[in-house]
Amino acid sequence: MTRTLVVLGMMAKIPVPGVVWQTLHYLIGFRRLGFDVHYVEAHARTPTMLMREPGDDGAGLAARFIDSVLRPYGFGDRWAFHALHDDGRVLGMEPARLARAYREAELIVNLHGGTEPREELAARGRLVYVETDPVQLQIELHDGVAAAREFLATHCAYFTFAENLAGPDCTLPRSPEFEFRPTRQPVALDLWHGDAGPGAAFRTVGNWHQSWRSAPASASSWRSPGTRRATARSSSGSGSPYGRRRTSTATMTPTASSSAAPAASSPRPRTRTSASARAGSATARRPSWPPDAPSSPRTPRSEPCCPRARACSR
C-alpha cells in the first residue's frame, strides 16, 4: 500500500541555496523512509525573488524553478505550485491529483510553518509543524499573541530546531499548551561530493544576524544586564516563523539594572501604517506576517545575535 506524504515548502518564495538544499533533503529523506512524497507550494506569497518586472508571470517562473530543482531527483511529476497569491491556478500536478494527495496523505508537513493551514490541510489531524526558525514564535506564545496560538492549534504535532529548548540554560519561554519536540533536518550524505575524507569533527556554518527581521521581546521575559542594546532574532534564514500574517514589531532595549525583577517597560505596541502615511513615506512598508525575505542578498554582519537564541538552539 502506498503511503502518501506531502511537504509544504517555500523554495520559490526564497530561492536561495540553503532553503532549496534543506527542502530537497527532506523530500529525499521521506522517500527513503518509504513514502510517496509530494512537494507543494501553497503559501500565497508572490515569488518576487524570481521576478524582474512587476508584470512577470511569477507563478510560471516559480513552476519552472521548482521543476528544475526537483526533476533531476525523481520528483518531476510530484510537485505543485498553487498560485493563491494571484489567479489560483495549479501548476505542476493537476488540481484533482493535488486534492487527492491532500486527501490521502498520511502526513502533511508544514516545513518552516510558512503555509497557512487551510481546511484541506488541517482536516483529519495530519498537519505537522516543523519550526526551522525558533525564538519569535515562543515569545509570541508567551506574550499571548492570539494569531500564534490560532496558527499552532490547527497542527497535530510540533517540532523545532531549538534542540535545547527544555535545557536549564535556555531562558526562552516554553508554552504549556504546545509541546515542541527537538528535531534535526535530514542529511543525505551521498548528495555531498568531495575528495576529502571524513574529519574528526563537523562544524555548523550559518548566519545568526537578520537585520531586516527582529522578534518582539518583552523586557519581563528577555531581560539582559547592562546597557548594551539586545535584539531577539530568529536563528535561521528561511524567513518564516509561521504562516500567519501580521505586523512586525520593534526590538527591545534592556535596562541598565542587572536585577532579576521584571522591568516596567514593555515592547513597542503593534501599529498599522495608514494609507496616507504609506503615500507620504518612501520607506513605509506594508504590514505583513511573516516578514518577507529580502528581495536581494544581504551582506552578513559579524556581530552576534542574542546569546539566548544560541543557547536554545545548540
Closest C-alpha among 74, 65, 73 to residue 15 = 65
**Residue 110 belongs to what H/E stretch?**
strand 107-111
Q: 28-32, 214-218, 277-281: which has the minimum mean pLDDT?
A: 277-281
- CB-side exposure of 27: number of CA atoms within 13 Å? 26
Question: How do 79-82 and 36-41 pair as beta strands?
Answer: parallel
d(CA 132, CA 165): 13
> Phi/psi of residue 110, each to 5°?
-90, 85
Beta bridge partners of 127: 108
Neighbours of 129 (CB within 10 A): 24
Given a cut of 60, is residue 24 above it in pLDDT?
A: yes
How many angstroms from the chain centroid is the CA of residue 252?
A: 22
Average model confidence (pLDDT) across the chain: 75
CB 107 within 8 A of CB 101: no
> Amino acid identity, residue 35?
F
126-141 average pLDDT score = 93
Highest mean pLDDT among 142-156, 163-177, 183-197, 284-298: 142-156
Q: What is the average per-residue pLDDT within 174-185? A: 94
d(CA 197, CA 308): 35
Query: Which whole number is the average pLDDT over 154-175?
Result: 92
* pLDDT over threshold 60, residue 10: yes
Query: Can you give the pLDDT at residue 210?
Result: 64
Residue 12 has pLDDT above 50, yes or no: yes
Q: What ranges do the domains of the chain cover? A: 4-189
Lowest mean pLDDT of 174-178, 208-212, 300-304, name the range.
300-304
Grid coordinates standing for 147? 494569531
Burial category of 110 from C-beta neighbours within 10 Å (exposed 0-12, middle 13-18, buried 19 and up): buried
Angstrom distance (rounded) from CA 50 to CA 31: 28
- Predicted local confidence at residue 312, as pLDDT: 53
Residue located via cell numbers 490547527: 154
More confident residue, 299 or 219: 219
The DSSP string of 187-224 is: --GGG---SS---S----------TT--B---TTTS--
Least confident of 93-102, 187-196, 262-271: 262-271
Between 247 and 31, where is the model more confident? Answer: 31
User: Is residue 280 over pLDDT 80?
Assistant: no
Q: What are the tens digits of pLDDT across the range 57-93?
A: 999 999 999 999 999 999 999 999 999 999 999 999 9
In this structure, how many other beta carbons lie within 10 angstroms of the beta carbon of residue 174? 16
> pLDDT tens digits, residue range 45-57?
999 999 999 999 9
Domain 4-189 has CATH 3.40.50: yes
Helix (H, G, I), strand (E, B) or coil at 38: strand
Residue from 279, 231, 287 nearest 254 by CA: 231
Q: What pLDDT is recorded for position 253?
A: 29
* pLDDT score at 262: 30
Q: Could you report how far apart the first and last alpha carbons of the chain are, in Å?
A: 39
Residue 198 is predicted with a pLDDT of: 67
pLDDT tens, position by position, 205-257: 666 566 666 655 554 444 333 322 333 333 334 444 455 444 333 232 222 32
Q: What is the rounded average pLDDT of the residues 96-109?
A: 97
Q: Give how far Cα 134 sits from Cα of 100, 155, 239, 310, Å.
A: 32, 17, 11, 10
What are the residues whose beta carbons fall under 8 Å from the beta carbon of 93, sequence distance 6 or more? 38, 77, 78, 79, 80, 101
